[in-house]
Amino acid sequence: MIIGLTGKNCAGKTTIAEYLVRKGFVYLSLSDVIRDALTTDSKEFTRENMIDKGNALRAAHGPGYIASKTMEKFQPGKNYVIDSIRNPNEVAELKTLDSFILINVISDDKTRFERMKNRMRPGDPSTFEEFMRYEQLEAGSDNVNAQQMDETCRMAHESIRNNDIIEELYNDIDLLLRRLLKKIKSKRPSWDEYFMNIAKVVASRSNCMKRHVAAVIVKDGRIISTGYNGTPRKTRNCDEGGCPRCNSFAESGTKLEECLCSHGEENAIVQASYHGISIKESVIYTTFSPCLICTKMIINAGIAEVVFNSKYPMSELSIALLTEAGVKVREVRVD
């Protein structure tokens, strides 16, 4: 879940962000991108400098730049709360994320001014009239790169009112989170995608010079063996010159008698045998459809299903033989 906070000055965005951090959310602020730029320019973090630099960054790199730079910090599997969203293009950038929810934090003008006075930050307006003039400057602009708080707030999915009763504010946040959880579904890979992606990672261990292939054998939803192609154990790796055929880059289908590399499916089956693990009625996930030799091993090992990501050249006979032997064959493309 990625929750964005917008709202006028001192509406209570920081209070909500701090509460969400206590609930395990990671805090990020679009203003940090601006602060980093001011630090590079050796300028102070005054209100005017922040506004001017934010406008300059949007003008130089695009209206959604500050949001996109913040999004670069996201890591999978974490919930985030994003503060300081002040431009509609920043909202548009963040809305490209399926799990993004923008909340408009609302509080009346007099209350917000009192909060601003109490925080005693240098450069803040000292009178209510001055405070409202600043508000008007940030409310909207013909400049697409400037702050446009009114339009940004109108783009919110939800709103929360902060009336200075902290218990009520926290309760409203909790209620909102419960509602949002019902709407947001995490994107989990299917079992086929899960095991095939693991097979692709296993393939990265291959030492073959021609093609990296791997297989994982699954039984009852559990991986029981893995294998990738390469030269036999305790011999020189293919990528160290161990296989004459691969290192000569022989034409496909030729000089197979010179190839010293075992295939991924072959190694997965042999590894199971080496460790005394039964693979009868299992499923083998392989990054390429099996060759004829591996096909015969799959059939005789009692494997019930073959799931492959890409077709191996000259695989028609292998697939036909698997089908004849009653082995289920499926292609599952995972890019």
Residues known to be catalytic: 265
E strands present in 107-237: 158-161, 214-219, 222-228
List C-alpha distances in Å: 224 to 20, 260, 271, 286, 334: 41, 25, 10, 14, 21
Contact 287, 211 (CB under 8 A): no
Measure the CA–CA gap between 287 and 299, rounded to whole angstroms.
18
**Residue 42 CA from chain centroid, whole number:** 34
**Residue 254 CA from chain centroid, whole number:** 42
List C-alpha distances in Å: 11 to 28, 83, 108, 109, 291: 18, 12, 8, 9, 66
Sign of CA dihedral 289, 294, 295, 299: negative
Token pair recorded at residue 139: 């409310």
- DSSP label at residue 331: E
For residue 78, the tally of other CB atoms under 10 A from its CB is: 11
List C-alpha distances in Å: 272 to 228, 276, 307: 13, 6, 18
User: Which residue's entry shows tokens 């082995």?
Assistant: 327
Phi and psi at 274, nearest 5°, equal: -55, -35
Contact 3, 101 (CB under 8 A): yes
